[in-house]
Amino acid sequence: TTELRRLESLRRDFVANVSHELKTPLSSIKAYAETLLDGALDDRQASITFVERIMEQADRLHHLILDMLSLARIESAQQVFEIVPVSIQETVDECVANQRPAAEAKRIELTAEPQQPGCLVRADKEGLREILDNLVDNAIKYTPEGGRVVVRWRSTADGKMASLEVEDTGIGISADELSRVFERFYRVDKARSRELGGTGLGLAIVKHLAQSFGGGVSAESESGRGSRFTVELPLA
Ligand code: ADP
């Protein structure tokens, strides 16, 4: 019964969290629509601005729902993964090319520094891509202009796993918050995360994906000095 009660309370928390997350963008959409009906429609320039805000909020809702669906599929083991040998180098190269414009826009130096270029892991290719995209996207989001983001990888001492790190010189995370960042919807600074288009689900997705592939994830950080997220995956 204690386990049942615990699960029931987790479910309640999740529903409360989701409702809260949906409420904020919906209230904005409603407020903009009301303003338009209240007369802003007659002002062409203002109308365009309000409709653009409605679009932004709708995009946020869309992103949130996609993240929730993705997490639910991974957790319920409904997601069918194709576990094959995947080259870390190729996946990192694709991710870095994809994120380069976002890094350049903030004058952040984004580099891949393989310590073992030929490393192959047992994973689903798209899943590994999603892990990396989430970690590099966060590293860029939470690093101020002029910083550095480095992706590196090597096999672990016992020769069984590959260790893949994403390190940044960003705002960092304090010790008491660090243990919570992998929780669903947990964000150190809600307002800042929202402003940057965050959903609070990225790291929960990373954790569940890594576990589905027989690996895990950990983080080290120091407030104001940067963070390092490490994913371990079985070598192929
Ligand atoms: P979000 O969509 O808010 O980025 P995540 O689950 O990806 O959600 O991350 C949860 C929280 O962890 C973020 O809101 C942020 O406070 C913190 N965080 C994640 N990555 C970093 C990082 N590289 N540097 C500093 N803080 C981070």
Residue 186 Cα: closest atom of ligand 1: 10
Q: How far apart are CA 149 and CA 165, in angstroms?
A: 10
Q: What is the pLDDT of residue 222?
A: 92
Q: How far apart are CA 166 and CA 159, in angstroms?
A: 20
> Is the C-beta atom of 203 inside 6 A of ligand 1?
yes
For the cut 90, the answer to whether the pLDDT of residue 131 exceeds it is: yes
Q: What is the pLDDT of residues 80-124, one digit of tens each?
A: 899 999 999 999 999 999 999 999 999 999 999 999 889 999 999
> Is the C-beta atom of 226 inside 6 A of ligand 1?
no
Encoded tokens for 180 = 């919570």
Q: How far apart are CA 41 and CA 50, in angstroms?
A: 9
Q: What is the pLDDT of residue 87?
A: 97
User: Which of 149, 140, 127, 143 has the alpha carbon at shortest distance from 205?
Assistant: 127
Residue to mutate (ligand 1; options 169, 193, 229; most atoms within 8 A of CB)? 193
> Is the C-beta atom of 168 inside 6 A of ligand 1?
yes
Among 75-84, 105-114, 172-181, whose mean pLDDT is lowest? 75-84
Q: How far apart are CA 142 and CA 149, in angstroms?
A: 10
* Averaged pLDDT of the chain: 94
> Is the C-beta atom of 202 inside 6 A of ligand 1?
yes
Q: How far is the CA of 41 from the centre of ligand 1 (A)?
A: 38
Q: How far is the CA of 175 from the centre of ligand 1 (A)?
A: 14
Q: How far apart are CA 12 and CA 14, in angstroms?
A: 5
Q: How confident is the model at residue 162 (pLDDT cuts 50, 70, 90)?
A: very high
Q: How far apart are CA 172 and CA 201, in angstroms?
A: 18
User: Which of 199, 231, 158 has the alpha carbon at shortest distance from 69?
Assistant: 199
For the cut 90, the answer to whether the pLDDT of residue 194 exceeds it is: no
Q: 230: which strand partners?
A: 165, 218
Q: Which residue's CA is the nearest one to ligand 1's atom 8?
A: 200
* Contact of 164 with 233, CB cutoff 8 Å: yes
Q: How far apart are CA 63 and CA 20, in angstroms?
A: 15
Residue 171 Cα: closest atom of ligand 1: 25
Q: What is the pLDDT of residue 196?
A: 82
For the cut 80, the answer to whether the pLDDT of residue 78 exceeds it is: no
Please return the burial class of 190, using the count of CB atoms within 10 Å of its CB with bins 0-12, 13-18 and 19+: middle
pTM of the model: 0.90
Q: What is the pLDDT of residue 203?
A: 97
How are beta strands 109-112 and 148-155 bridged, if at all? parallel
Q: What is the pLDDT of residues 3-59, one digit of tens each?
A: 899 888 888 888 888 898 899 899 999 999 999 999 999 999 999 999 999 999 999
Residue 229 Cα: closest atom of ligand 1: 23
Q: What is the pLDDT of residue 156?
A: 92
Q: How confident is the model at residue 192 (pLDDT cuts 50, 70, 90)?
A: confident
Q: How far apart are CA 127 and CA 135, in angstroms?
A: 13
* Contact of 129 with 94, CB cutoff 8 Å: yes
Q: What is the pLDDT of residue 134?
A: 97
Q: Which residue's CA is the nearest one to ligand 1's atom 2?
A: 198
- Using a pLDDT cut of 70, give the percent of the chain over it: 100
Q: 221: which strand partners?
A: 227
